[in-house]
A and B are shown apart, each in its own frame.
Chain A
Amino acid sequence: MTRTLAAAVATSALVALPAFAVERSDVLETYADIAAAKYADSRDAARQLQTAIHKFIDAPSAEGLDAARTAWREARIPYMQTEVYRFGNPMVDEWEGRVNAWPLDEGLIDYVDPTYGGATDENEYAALNVIANPQFQLSGRTVDASRITPDLLQDVLQEADGVEANVATGYHAIEFLLWGQDLNGTDAGAGDRPWTDYASGDDCTNGNCDRRADYLRVVTDLLVDDLDEMARAWGANGAARADLTADEEAGMAAILTGMGSLSYGELAGERMKLGVLLNDPEEEHDCFSDNTHESHYYDGVGMQNAYLASYTRMDGSVVSGPSPSDLVAAADPQVDAQLRERLDASVEALDRVRDAANDGMAYDMMLARGNAEGEKLVMDAVDALVAQTRAIERAVAALDLGAIEVEGSDSLDAPDAVFQ
């Protein structure tokens, strides 16, 4: 056996030699392989959620609701790690709103507390409550919602009236249907929807339990279908993989664009810093379930494992290969070392937020006015993500990535046209 092992080591050392110069094409293929694995894991976890939800709806109980909530939390773990693909890959970005649109005016979907208010200047349909209303007026026409169907949710209600806060599908719609509104503000506690919101007959609380169950079933089925579509798009002959690998330089730029835009504008800015500056618990990403600390953490992990090209699947197996890090290191080892350090630092900072939340300071409590300790935890993570963004820009420069898809414009293509 020893001899065989030695021979195997020798062989792998030999074949490793030509791989010393990492090829961009191999990095892109590995990136797509990992994306495919993450979306497949997300779909499979959503199927577990679907099973739990069907079971709960068929025989409502407190335990059934708990099991569904646990399955939802589990389903977020692989999905959040895919967010790194969003901003660099047009197919993902166009699709993303179906599964993870946020923030939402939840009164569109179901009953809300009186303090929520009604329609607003921004959104006339903020309190539409489709579960209670089998027929309603929308943008000047009558909608028949007597049956809750996939078409009703994805084609009629999603972004109704051109307002992004009208979110009818995806994780956060399901989250609202499982937890309900979090009415604790920046104090302890998450949403507390009673399981009897899905009970039949006289046990039904808050009315329309059948329609609520129909909605929950349809929206969960849609999530599974949407994730399956994206897992296939990254598969062997998938369109997202083909887009990424069509042009090596553009593909590398897409990888780093996805990391940079998620780090800075989205996670550090929109999802974290803004909530602290506004002291607003509604600005928390998973605001019904108080699961935000986990979601942010896995965003960070997803960026790191995309850069290092090593992803541990839900079943424990590892998908790995030539990485963006290898390419950057070949171009400029210092830039690569700095970026790896800063990815480590941001994951650690996000992990400290997670620890504090698990020890009792929920993410929305960190946003409270005057909670200096909470603010510091969040802002340390923001600062780490901003620092990481600067390192990503340096990696873009080190790889000397050229022009990608800059759209033509009159002023360049036909300079005279602009004066007409």
Chain B
Amino acid sequence: MKYAVAFTIGLAIAAGSVAAGVEQAIDDQILPGYAAFSDATAALRQTAMNDCTAAAIRPDWNGAMDAWLGVGHLRFGPAEAEGRATAIAFWPDTRGATARTLADLLIARDPVIDTPEGTATLSVAARGLYALELLLYDPQFDDNGAYGCALLRALTTDLAAMAASIEDEWQNGYADALRHAGDPGNDVFLSEREARQTLFTALLTGLEFIADQRLGRPMGTFERPRPARAESWRAGRSQRNVILSLRALSGLADALADSGTPRTDAAFSRAMDLADTLDDPVFGAVVDPTGRLRVEVLQQAVRDARETALMELGPALGVSAGFNSADGD
């Protein structure tokens, strides 16, 4: 299916309720979500400034990760600008670039991190939440002395700055552009349909990411399961990431169409129930057939939620799926 962007035919419903869906998504999901992420990363930075031991920083790192999962599917506009979303969340890392780039920095004691401007020029593999996870949880990065401490402070400062920029740009311009899609002079969204399509595409892409990456990577093939490819396994929160991202996507779907999509609601409920009750925090059980099957059942439920939204919510919004950044290889 990687080649197929499915276009479903539009059956536009009354424009009023649809515009309300966009408004509700902005006010109930997007703006509070980015405010929470901005707050959580500011707290993480403050903690790292006060005490840069891994033990001290871990709880706030988890808080920032939780907050990111509330907005990580909204990879357009301010999050896409300057590659911010990629720098905040560089995963999956299929070529081991994060460990390699961090190790290079530590060996060289590279002074590029002495200023925020310098840190911002680093490879995205060495920035953001996943680079921090490696520094905080992987034994190979234990005890890097003063430079290790400086690196944690530089990366948390950089992360907080990116989160603040995204929030600021949403508050001061981008939310208005989305709200007033199709107004004269609005060259971001030329019609209300484009605003709905952008959010709808984010919903579908987010579900695809959970199924293909968060679940699909550790599943590997039946003969060759790959538990070490699970997301955030070092921090022990692979399953939690799935639960929280599903919850956020369900919220977005609700906001977009608060009534009249019973199949979509049911498909989300089923996927969330399965995710909640899995009891396999890092998907380690994929190595045995029964454990793998349980993850596969969840993966199928997430794919069903996507297809159901495509067939039911899409027509209700009068839009089809747009192109997304996962359309390539």
Contact = CB atoms under 8 A, between A and B. Distances in A.
A265 to B, nearest CB: 3
Contacts of B328: 87, 261-262, 264-267, 269-271
Contact of A273 (B6, B83, B197, B229): B83
A418 B7 contact: no
Interface string B94-125: 11110000000000000010000000011111
B263 A264 contact: no
Given A279-B123, A411-B263, A406 B220 contact: no
A280 B101 CA distance: 10
Contacts of B281: none
A263 to B, nearest CB: 8
Interface string A397-420: 100111111110111100100110
A264 B323 contact: yes
Interface in A276-317: 276-280, 282
Given A260-B5, A261-B5, A122 B94 contact: yes
Contact of A411 (B307, B322, B323, B327): B307
A95 to B, nearest CB: 11
Nearest to B306: A409
Contact of A412 (B96, B307, B325, B329): B307
Given A264-B327, A265-B324, A278-B125, A90 B307 contact: no
A418 B270 CA distance: 8
B15 interface: no
Interface in A179-233: none
B266 A162 contact: no
B5 to A, nearest CB: 5
A256 to B, nearest CB: 9
A394 interface: yes
A277 B124 contact: yes
A341 interface: no
Interface residues of B, number: 55
B86 interface: yes
A86 B94 contact: no
Contact of B304 (A87, A120, A262, A410): A410
Interface in B152-197: 190, 193-194, 197
B124 A261 contact: no
A38 B98 CA distance: 40
Given A261-B3, A393-B197, A418-B304, A406 B267 contact: no
B324 A93 contact: no
Contacts of A402: 7-9
Given A265-B324, A370-B121, A411 B267 contact: yes
A407 B300 CA distance: 13
A406 B323 contact: no
Contacts of B94: 122, 165
A376 interface: no
Interface in B1-42: 1-10
Contacts of B312: 412
B326 interface: yes
Contacts of B310: 406
B268 to A, nearest CB: 10
A276 B304 CA distance: 35
A253 B220 CA distance: 32
A396 B7 contact: yes
B323 to A, nearest CB: 4
B137 to A, nearest CB: 16
A164 B267 CA distance: 32
A279 B322 CA distance: 29
Contacts of B301: 418
Nearest to A88: B3
B228 interface: yes
Q: Select the residue from B8, B229, B266, B322 with max chain A CB neighbours within 10 A.
A: B322
A404 B307 contact: no
A139 B96 CA distance: 22
B97 A393 contact: no
Interface string B299-329: 0010111011011100000001011111111
A278 B327 contact: no
A415 B95 CA distance: 41
A404 B123 contact: no
Given A161-B224, A369-B122, A394-B190, A412 B308 contact: yes
Nearest to B5: A257
B117 to A, nearest CB: 10
Contacts of B2: 87, 93
A97 B95 CA distance: 19
A411 B194 CA distance: 27
Given A401-B7, A409-B307, A278 B224 contact: no
Given A265-B326, A265-B327, A411-B304, A121 B96 contact: yes
B3 A260 contact: no
B87 interface: yes
A162 B221 contact: yes
A351 B94 CA distance: 30
A61 interface: no
Contacts of A25: none
Nearest to A276: B83
A404 B9 CA distance: 9
A89 B6 contact: no
B86 A406 contact: no
B7 A415 contact: no
Given A161-B224, A392-B323, A394-B190, A415 B266 contact: yes
A136 B50 CA distance: 54
Interface of A: 86-90, 93, 103, 120-122, 139, 161-162, 164-165, 253, 257, 260-267, 269-271, 273-274, 276-280, 282, 369-370, 389-390, 392-394, 396-397, 400-407, 409-412, 415, 418-419
5 contacts: A261-B327, A267-B328, A269-B328, A403-B7, A411-B308
Q: 4 tightest A-B contacts by CB?
A: A265-B327, A266-B328, A265-B328, A261-B327
Given A139-B224, A407-B307, A411-B307, 19 more contacts: A87-B328, A122-B94, A139-B223, A165-B94, A264-B327, A267-B328, A278-B125, A279-B122, A397-B10, A401-B320, A403-B7, A404-B7, A411-B305, A412-B263, A412-B307, A412-B308, A412-B312, A415-B266, A418-B266
